[in-house]
Amino acid sequence: MPFDIYDFTSFTKWIDTSLENAMSPFWTTVTEMAIAGVLFILFYAVVGLFLVYAERKVCAFVQNRLGPNRLGPYGIFQTIADLIKLLFKELIPIKNADRFLFNLAPYIVIIVNFMVLGAIPYAKGLHAIDFNIGIFYIIAVSSMSVIGVLLAGWSSNNKYSLIGAMRSGAQIVSYELSVGLSLITMVIFAGSMQLSVIVEAQRTGWFIFKGHIPAFIAFVIYIIAGTAETNRGPFDLAEAESELTAGYHTEYSGIKFAFFYLAEFINMFIVASIAATIFLGGWMPFHIGTWEGFNRIMDFVPPFIWYLGKTFFVIWVIMLFKWTFPRLRIDQLLTLEWKYLLPINLVNVLIMAFIVLMGWHF
């Protein structure tokens, strides 16, 4: 196929072979891990800063404002200035806080983000590790971020932080069920948990189109539950400013606050990235039936551009949620999950299993 010219497999194999010829197997592995680590750190920083800027611009668009517009053209350097400010801010020690756990919490959240980012395929042959249980790994690892949130709230010695952490814990644990069941629905349809295999299965059509109505229902529930799991509006009860000041990170300042702040946006990127990979074909181009001319043009768009375009489209939808709908109460938030999303998801899984069993595929 024409888009195979963008296959990164040969490039990564060339790097691996070159390093093996130059050094021992041990140092080859260490060097490759170091290269991957540096690339992910740069990717993390760039994506995080861009999403902070995008959030402000989307918010301004919804509220009929300009948003950042002073520092650099269209205010593009505003987030960099904010980062520099946070880096040089004093780290304020909290009296009677559990110092070890207080300092550990933001690093747990960051490490979880890096572990999930490493399993996501960004283009053909462009992923750090390709597990055969990729979706299971992502669900399992991403659920560990709640540990960092609970530690932050408990160790701060602040009742508002503790309440925010408990809210966030209840919210994440509840909505993880809907996120997991939505992904299980598509695993049943794809017949595999390996992310690269799932993307390849969408070569002839994205799952949101091929998977009938259950796939669309799973996509909608995944976006809603994913938005709630990342503590973003209208599900941001854990950081309700009018009730809890800043929630579980009230007592954090400087670079530690920046870790939590960036982690929220990277979590949103991860949720959108998984949605793009599982439901929207990942790096696969958009094809329409027998329109050969149109399909050939789509094939020459680089797969990384397809992946980023789909991911940022989902991010845009999630951002619109926050600045369009009013914040839910905690009882409404849990009612939505346990009384509506979870039963719909369970029925949806059964319907998808029946469709696969009967072979009703496009």
298-329 pLDDT, tens digit per residue, is 888 888 889 999 999 999 999 988 888 888 88
184-226 per-position pLDDT tens digit: 999 999 888 999 889 988 888 888 888 789 999 999 999 999 9
The yes-or-no verdict on residue 357 having pLDDT over 60 is yes
Nearest of 48, 123, 44 to residue 310 by alpha carbon = 123
Residue 3: its pLDDT value, please? Answer: 44
More confident residue, 2 or 18: 18
- Centre a 10 Å sphere on the Cβ of residue 324 and count the other Cβ atoms it contains: 10
Main-chain phi, psi angles of 177, to 5 degrees: -60, -45
Angle subtended by helix axes 159-190 and 134-142, to nearest 10: 170
pTM of the predicted structure, to 2 decimals: 0.89
> Cα(16)–Cα(36) distance, rounded to whole angstroms?
12
Peptide bond into 234 cis (omega under 30): yes
Residue 243: its pLDDT value, please? Answer: 59
Nearest of 185, 193, 183, 265 to residue 225 by alpha carbon = 183
86-127 per-position pLDDT tens digit: 888 888 878 788 888 988 988 998 999 999 998 898 888 788
- CB neighbour class for 278 (10 Å; exposed up to 12, middle 13-18, buried from 19): buried
Residue 349: its pLDDT value, please? Answer: 93
Q: Are the C-beta atoms of 234 and 322 separated by less than 8 Å?
A: yes
> Cα(287)–Cα(195) distance, rounded to whole angstroms?
20
> Cα(282)–Cα(196) distance, rounded to whole angstroms?
9
Of the pLDDT bands very low, low, confident and very high (cuts 50, 70, 90), residue 63 is: confident
Residue 242: its pLDDT value, please? Answer: 59
Residue with tokens 């994506």: 47
Chain Cα centroid distance, residue 33: 22
Count, residues in the chain: 362
- CB neighbour class for 293 (10 Å; exposed up to 12, middle 13-18, buried from 19): exposed
